[in-house]
Structures are given as C-alpha cells and as structure tokens.
Amino acid sequence: MAAEMTVPSDAQLIKAQADLQRHSLTYLTSMSLRCAIELGIPTAIHRLGGTASLPDLMAALSLPPPKEPFLSRVLRLLAKSDALACTEDGVYSLTPLSYILVDGVLIDGEARQIAFPLAVTSRYHMESGLGLADWFKNDRALPVPSPFEHVHAAAPFDESMTLLDPETDKLFYEALAAHDHMGIGTVVRECRGLFNGLQSLTDCCGGDGTTARAIVKAFPHIKCNVLDLPKVIEKVPSDGVVNYVAGDMFHTVPPAQAVMLKLVLHFWSDEDCIKILAQCKKAIPSREMGGKVIIIDIVLGSSLETISETELLMDMLMFRINSAVK
C-alpha cells in the first residue's frame, strides 16, 4: 500500500515549480557558455582591454546588428552564472571562470581550458545523456557498455571513437589534457612539501608533459619522466626538459623516487586501480628510501557546497563514459 503523501503548501508548490523549471533548463547555461566560447566572447573582452559593452562586442565579433538583443540575453545569463561580470551600466568584464577561456592565455603553462566545455557539450555527450533511461532498462550481460558506448557503439579515448569521428576524438583528447593539467601551478605553489627531497618523478598518463614541465620549472633538480600510451607520446616533440616514455601503466612504470597519478584513478574501476598502484609500487624505492606515490584526484565529500556539486557532476560524467567506474 502506497504511503499517504503530504500535500505541499501553496508556497512550496510555487517553489517546486520554479525548481522544476530551473533543473529542466539548466542545460541552457552550458549551451550559452559553449556559444560564448565559439563566438570568442572572453577573448574579445580581453582584447578590448578587459571591459566591453554590448555594442563593443557586437562590433568586435562582427555579428549582424539584428542579433544584438539576443546576444544581450546570452550575456545576461552568463553574468548571472558568474561566467562574466556585469555592471549596472551593462559593461561586461572577465571573471576567473571566463579568464581561463581566453584564447592564448595560459596560467603557469597549463593547458587551455576551452576544450573541456566544448567536449562535454558535444552532441555525443548530449545524446549519451538522452539515452540514460534506455541504458538502465537494457538487460545486457556483463561487461555492460557505458551509456556513451550504448548510444554510439564507440568509447571516448578509444580507437572506436577515432574511427567514428576523428575531429571529435581529437577534441576529447584536448579536453582530457585541459582537465588533467589544470591546477598544477597551484599544487607546486601550495603543496611544495610533496616535492621536497625528490630527485626523480614519473608522471603517469602525463600526456604532452605540461604538468611535468611545471614541476621541473618549480624544482629544476627533479628529473621527470612522462609515461603515456605510444599514440600520445609519438605526437609530443622532445623538449629536453622531461623524458617521454611510451608505454602502459598497467604493465610497467618507469622507475623513479616518486610516481604521480594526477586525475588518473577516477577514470578506472577499483580492480584496475589496484593493478595500477601495484605497478607504481614496483617503480619506487621503499618508504625509508624516500619512495612515494602522489595521488591528486577528485574526492567525493568536499565540505564546500559548490565543489561538492561539481564532484557529483564529474562522477556522473565518469559513469556516462565508463560504467566500470564505481
């Protein structure tokens, strides 16, 4: 027998309706941010000296004049969501969020961030989200494909995605690099103790070496290896700053005093994480000899509300592209 429901008050019903509309339409914030990136709005504001009115942006972006009132609505939503700042006079400026979306601006050598929002708002990710209910109803034998694979018969960061859409596959890798390298400047400034006393370090899944180069810049005495798959390493030009190693962390990790896993483990199942950590243990000396594994990752349960929501959203992203992650 179903439990008797408590009828909400009028005030609660009004709030519920507003909450329902907000949840249903929040995707428009993401779409507006994508639109701003594709139009080049953060870059235009930066090139205009850091502030810009609506007419300034229309001219700088060479947009048709009849579109001005519609651009105003996009900008208003972005300002409400802190992607832009806006004065009462309608003058827009960059916030920290939009600053990291300016074309050509790198922070402490970190990767450009525009690829991440463009990738996760691509039609492939949107369609995999639309297929979630169907994925749950599907009674397939293990191993169960991810919702992304269920819809597209391809997986991100896999040859199947390369064959399906080479351009989007490239974008996904650029987004992965942006995600993985973000924050390393803060780490080397605020967590210097992690690297004190180290003579060598291997960065697993280090991609193009952006993170390793930032470490070497801050600690020139540390010799850094960058381990990644051959298809990644073969595209990276040797820079003489770090040592690039083509390989697979499931099979072997280049020996070093420390091994770093920055934003790596959250993509793998518990069983795979154990295998990765076992190889890391083989690569380092004993604790008494200064051996350590440095893990930097997203951890559910942050005390900051906005970060906690981001953690849950990232968890949903991992579930959508890799259902083996629990």
Whether 276 is covered by a domain: the verdict is: yes
Whether 178 is covered by a domain: the verdict is: no
> How many structural domains are present in the chain?
2
The CATH number linked to 30 is: 1.10.10.10
Whether 196 is covered by a domain: the verdict is: yes
The CATH number linked to 219 is: 3.40.50.150
Whether 157 is covered by a domain: the verdict is: no
Whether 244 is covered by a domain: the verdict is: yes
Whether 117 is covered by a domain: the verdict is: no
Pick the catalytic residue from 46, 125, 181, 266: 266
pLDDT of residue 307: 67
CA gap 118, 136 in Å, rounded: 26
What residues make up the domain containing 64? Answer: 25-99
Whether 268 is covered by a domain: the verdict is: yes
Residue 95 and residue 192 share a domain: no
**Could you read off the pLDDT tens digit of each residue along the chain, which spans 326 residues?**
667 888 899 999 999 999 999 999 999 999 999 999 999 999 999 999 999 999 999 999 999 999 999 999 999 999 999 999 999 999 999 999 999 999 887 666 566 789 999 999 999 999 999 999 999 998 877 678 899 999 999 999 999 999 999 999 999 988 988 888 888 888 888 988 889 889 999 999 998 898 999 999 999 999 999 999 998 899 888 888 899 999 999 999 999 999 999 999 988 888 999 999 999 999 999 998 889 999 998 887 766 666 688 888 988 999 999 876 65
Whether 304 is covered by a domain: the verdict is: no
pLDDT of residue 308: 82
| 266 in active site | yes
pLDDT of residue 301: 75
